[in-house]
Chain A
């Protein structure tokens, strides 16, 4: 299995630009999670989906952030407009709802907003 796939791996953009991060979960996993990792706050859950439906988006910072999961094999996290304080590593993870719910993480996208 290829594992969780994220793209791009690195993104450098200017303040005010739209940023779209992409994630392909592991085949057969029905839950998908978006996390943000910063030095100050550690690893924080932004939103998670179960069977393509958003379940908990309480971690989404503000209206500039949005996430979609149009099908079981693809999700996007969009920031519009981006700000320097959005600079962080964004991880996507997936899991099966059954069993012990072990979450498998992707390699992350390092976002820098200038």
Chain B
């Protein structure tokens, strides 16, 4: 069974704070790690797809790193804004041809103005 864990489960920060959260996944048979941003009453939107150990991706103030050997990924938000408030999901995919993604429970971020 592939377990994807995210921590913390929720986070309240003030506008301007920088945040980071962790996604851990089994490192064996790793193929890809996906990050999604999910706003309330909307559907999940893809942020990043990462495959290589040491990968670092950036989109605006949001960036992510990947360590496939130890099975974790960090998501960073620099200078959080209220519009960053959302649930951030990570999902892992294993080798073997399956397109199945196993999602973590998500990390709910609230940025207070």
Show the binding face of A for B, using Cβ within 8 Å. 4, 31, 33, 42-45, 48, 50, 55-56, 91, 95, 97, 100-108
Contacts and interface: CB of A to CB of B under 8 A. Distances in A.
A100 B101 CA distance: 12
A48 B100 contact: yes
Nearest to B4: A42
A56 to B, nearest CB: 6
24 contacts: A33-B101, A42-B104, A43-B44, A44-B103, A45-B102, A48-B99, A48-B100, A50-B99, A55-B99, A56-B100, A91-B43, A91-B44, A100-B32, A100-B49, A101-B99, A102-B46, A102-B49, A103-B46, A103-B101, A104-B46, A105-B45, A107-B42, A107-B43, A108-B43
A95 to B, nearest CB: 7
Given A103-B46, A107-B42, A55 B32 contact: no
A40 B43 CA distance: 18
Contacts, number: 48
B43 A101 contact: no
B59 to A, nearest CB: 13
Interface of B: 32, 34, 42-46, 49, 51, 89, 93, 98-106
B43 A42 contact: no
B44 A105 contact: yes
Contacts of A43: 44, 89, 103, 106
A105 B89 CA distance: 13
Contacts of B42: 107
Ranked nearest first, the 3 interchain pairs of A and B with the lowest CB-CB distance are A105-B43, A100-B49, A42-B105
A42 B106 contact: yes
A55 B96 CA distance: 13
A76 B6 CA distance: 31
B43 A97 contact: no
Contacts of B99: 31, 33, 48, 50, 55, 95, 97, 101
